[in-house]
Copies of this chain bind each other. A is one copy, B any other.
Amino acid sequence: MATPVEAVRRFNRFYTRRIGVLQDRSLYRPYSLAEARVLYELGHRDAPTAGALAQELGIDTGYLSRILKAFARRGLVSAGRAPSDARRRPLSLTPAGKKACAALEARSRKEVGAMLEEVPASARTQLASAMAEVERLIEKEAPGVSLRPHRPGDMGWVVHRHGVLYFREYGWDERFEALVAGIAKDFIEKLDSERERCWIAEMGGRPVGSVFVVQQSKTVAKLRLLLVEPEARGQGLGRRLVDECIAFARAKGYRRLVLWTQSCLAAARAIYKAAGFRRTRTERHGSFGYHLTGEYWELEL
């Protein structure tokens, strides 16, 4: 795959062409593309001023002024007056303007619909969500991360991502993934929902992290399957997940929170250490195709 810069440039070329095709002049008749965009904005916002429109659409104010004048002449828009500032002229569509806007929209919808006919039906929603993703990624700040309890599909996600990431980052083979699958299975089948819990971290509607607390004995809880996706790292999510577990274990009256990890998992170990865990024991073992050193950590609550 090319670098992001090249990928974006490629996409720009592609979409410039595509928009050119989609925005054939004749589609907007009797309006120009700029006019059509203005009409659209007027139909979808609440009495904007000329300046706001110019900024939103990125067009010259002089040009816009002329377009609006032409619209006014044709009886499509009427300019009110702002109560507080007589320079501002809040614009709104007249009934005729609304009709023109609706007609234009209908045509656009039809045109896009025709284009979508070419796309296999199954791919259309994929297309919609890929487009939404592009927009989200360009436009918005990284969306906030929220935690939620697990729901159907999440156990599989946890297994899947453990499998992929530990293979990619440490080379661990499917046996590790199978271990995780077993833990996930047991979690669901033996779940005591009063004393055990799973948190899924979500960012922009997709999971980016997980952690589990399960009961090891009446007084000892065990933290398991802490995972943070690469794209969500470096913002304290791991720590947040661990803190959630600690608070939960305390609230439920456990006396100790324990966990098992590997010496090579530096990021996770740093989190445990910072959260107050102590290493109690280490143990060499050969698993998932490697020689590993397992570590037992615990935290008195």
Interface residue ranges, A against B (CB under 8 Å) = 1-23, 37, 40, 56-59, 108-109, 112-113, 115-116, 119-120, 122-135, 137-139, 141-142, 150-164, 166-167, 172-182, 184-185, 187-189, 230-234
The answer for the CA separation of A287 and B156 in the assembled complex, in Å, is 19
Q: Which residues of B sit under 8 angstroms from A130, Cβ to Cβ?
A: 130, 133-134, 137
Q: Which residue of B lies closest to A134 (CB)?
A: B130
This chain: copies in complex = 2
Is the CB–CB distance between B132 and A58 below 8 Å? no
Chain A interface mostly: helix
A134-B134, A231-B123 known; A178+B155 contact, CB < 8 A = yes
Quote the shortest CB–CB distance from A42 to chain B (angstroms). 14
Is the CB–CB distance between A128 and B184 below 8 Å? no
Is the CB–CB distance between A233 and B122 below 8 Å? yes
Is the CB–CB distance between B137 and A119 below 8 Å? yes
Is the CB–CB distance between A135 and B21 below 8 Å? no
The answer for the CA separation of A5 and B105 in the assembled complex, in Å, is 11
Is the CB–CB distance between B131 and A150 below 8 Å? no
Which of B109, B126, B166 interacts with A133 by CB under 8 Å?
B126
Is the CB–CB distance between A163 and B153 below 8 Å? yes
Is the CB–CB distance between A13 and B37 below 8 Å? yes
Query: Given A122-B231, A122-B233, A155-B163, 18 other A-B contacts at CB below 8 A?
Result: A1-B129, A2-B128, A4-B128, A6-B109, A8-B116, A11-B132, A11-B135, A15-B19, A123-B137, A123-B231, A126-B133, A152-B174, A153-B163, A154-B163, A156-B162, A156-B177, A157-B160, A159-B159
